Amino acid sequence: MITIGHQRVRRNWSWKVFANAGATIGLLLGMTTMGAAVASVRFAPACAASSPQDPQRAAAGRVAPMSVTGHPVAVATAQDDQSVFVALATRGLRDPNGIQVFQRGADWLKPQGIIPLRSHVSGLVPSPDGRVLLATLDDGLAVVDVARGSIGDPSSLMGYIETAGGARASGTAIAAGRYLFMADRQSGRVDVLDLPRIESGDFGPAARVGTIEVDVAPTGLAASPDGRYVYVVSDLPRPAVGLGFGDFVYGGLASFGPLRRAGTLSVIDMKRVDLNPSMAVIARVPAGCGPTGVAASSDGRTVWVTAQRSNELLAFAADRLLSGQRAGPVVRVPVGAGPVGLQLVRGGRFALVADSSDPNDSGGSGGSGGSGPAEEVCLVDTAAALAGRAPVHTGIAVGSFSGDIWVSADQRLAYVANNGSSVLTQVDLTALLG
């Protein structure tokens, strides 16, 4: 109300005033958000891709494709190598979620059954003593008794563990036989679980040790041989200027073409996990475009990383990482297009690197009898690469969308999960390496 003389007159505020004020505030917030995202991209390290390597093709007769019921995303074996567990993910309404179990014969795998699980499976890891199999899910962790699971018994499912945020896991690692680490891609953290409690059947809150903040979209983990450190690769560094929704804008910009930023390799110190998980990350270094897989050599001296969008296998010196130096890789090895899966064999003397493509691309014919384009697993001579010699690359034809690789305990066989062609590819390593 306003007063004119002795009369009071009601002021009529126009809705346009409020609309203009709202638009101005929105514009300012938008500009601030974009500015924070652009600043974060500006400060993040860039990366450059190398051309995919064309490897020498391995002779025929060393690969055996086997059909599975669904779309395999991960594989693991029991300690005696006689049972093979294959994680199945859904791509359609009729696809099962669960673990298909096979028994190993002389030259074949015999299906035993499927252990159903409640949601999408993204990874498998057996406990060090071989008693339980841990399956990472969209909404937690499933625990399976290996003895009963070896015959495909659905009752082998012991129970589920709810993770802190229930977000999608993308990698696991076990350190010192005590801790299970799970990468949470959605929240940019690593969940830490108490493995002995889990094995004893405690699936409640006491099994959760804590969470460790890492970088954007962590995808792979590996423990050092002595269990002292855990290495984590993430798709992007955290934004230098964090501002709510601006973080999503930053992620989009930093993943786009010429603005593409390098991912990171982080080091977690196990001694700090018990004391203060929030301070457990002791080093972060750039690790190529789109790092996905990570593995530590058996002597603990070298950490290997697959950079999917760089088409490279990268080697980092562990001592330089642990000293806090922000040094880059000591060796960069061009491999096939879009490397994802990574396994070291023969004590790290060789590396198996799985190429990948879009699992929804059904064009062409699968290399192992399925739909989708043929792909390869690249066998890399890592010793030659570290010695400064040109490493020999041997290409092994597998099915479409190669992902997870598992090597049997006797180092005689490798198994490759081919999600796009519903095939598990068995590779005879003795025929390749002797």
pLDDT(365) > 50: no
Query: Helices (H), strands (E): how many in the chain?
Result: 8, 31
Pick the closest to residue 254 from 403, 36, 9, 44 (CA basis): 44
Spans of all domains in the chain: 13-433
Residue 304 burial (10 A CB sphere; 0-12, 13-18, 19+): buried
User: Over 201-268, what HEC string results?
Assistant: CCCCHHHEEEEEECCEEEEEEEECCCCCEEEEEEEECCCCCCCCCHHHHHHHHHCCHHHCECCEEEEE
The model's confidence at residue 264, banded by pLDDT at 50, 70 and 90, is very high
Q: How many CB atoms lie within 10 A of CB 18?
A: 10
Confidence band for 359, pLDDT divided at 50, 70 and 90: very low
* Residue percentage of the chain with pLDDT more than 90: 46
Distance CA 409, CA 406 (A): 9
Q: List, in sequence order, the alpha helices (H) in 276-329.
A: 318-322
What pLDDT is recorded for position 164? 62
The contacts of residue 241 (CB under 8 Å, 6+ apart) are 36, 37, 39, 40
User: Is pLDDT of 362 > 70?
Assistant: no
Q: Give me the mean pLDDT over the 206-219 stretch.
A: 90
Q: Is residue 82's pLDDT more than 60? A: yes
Please report which residue ranges of 44-124 form alpha helices under DSSP H.
Answer: none
- Amino acid identity at 371: S
In DSSP notation, 18-32 reads: HHHHHHHHHHHHHHH
Range with the poorest average pLDDT among 14-23, 220-229, 274-283, 416-425: 14-23
Maximum average pLDDT range among 56-65, 149-158, 321-330, 367-376: 149-158
pLDDT of residue 355: 85
**Cβ pair 171, 182 in contact under 8 A:** yes
| Res 287: pLDDT | 94
CA 420 to chain centre: 17
Cα-based distances in Å from 363 to 52, 311, 360, 374 = 20, 22, 9, 10
Mean pLDDT on 21-37: 54
Fold classification of 13-433 (topology level): Methylamine Dehydrogenase; Chain H (2.130.10)
CB 209 within 8 A of CB 273: yes
pLDDT of residue 407: 95
In this predicted structure, what is the pLDDT of residue 15?
58
DSSP 97: P
Sheet architecture: strand order including 342-345: 56-57, 393-398, 375-381, 350-354, 342-345
pLDDT of residue 252: 64
Mean of the per-residue pLDDT values of the chain: 82
Res 269 pLDDT > 80? yes
Strand, coil or helix: what is 374?
A: coil
Task: Name which residue leads in pLDDT, 146 or 119.
Answer: 146
Contact 71, 95 (CB under 8 A): yes
Of 1-5, 93-97, 334-338, 400-404, minimum mean pLDDT range: 1-5
Q: Which residue has the higher pLDDT, 53 or 389?
A: 389
| Weakest mean pLDDT among 107-121, 167-181, 335-349, 420-434 | 167-181
In this structure, of 193-197, 315-319, 333-337, the range with the lowest mean pLDDT score is: 333-337
Q: What is the distance in angstroms between the CA of the first residue and the CA of the last residue of the chain? A: 94
Question: What would the mean pLDDT of 206-232 be, rounded to a whole number?
Answer: 93
- Model confidence, pTM: 0.85
Query: Is 32's pLDDT higher than 70?
Result: no
Stretch 215-238: mean pLDDT = 92
Backbone angles phi, psi at 9, to 5 degrees: -120, 130
Q: Using alpha carbons only, what angle is made at residue 340 by residues 127 and 423, rounded to the nearest 5 degrees?
A: 75
Predicted local distance difference test score (pLDDT) of residue 366: 35
pLDDT at residue 254 above 70? no
Give the rounded distance of the alpha carbon of 250 from its chain centre. Answer: 21
pLDDT per position as a tens digit, 170-206: 778 999 889 999 998 888 889 999 999 999 999 998 9
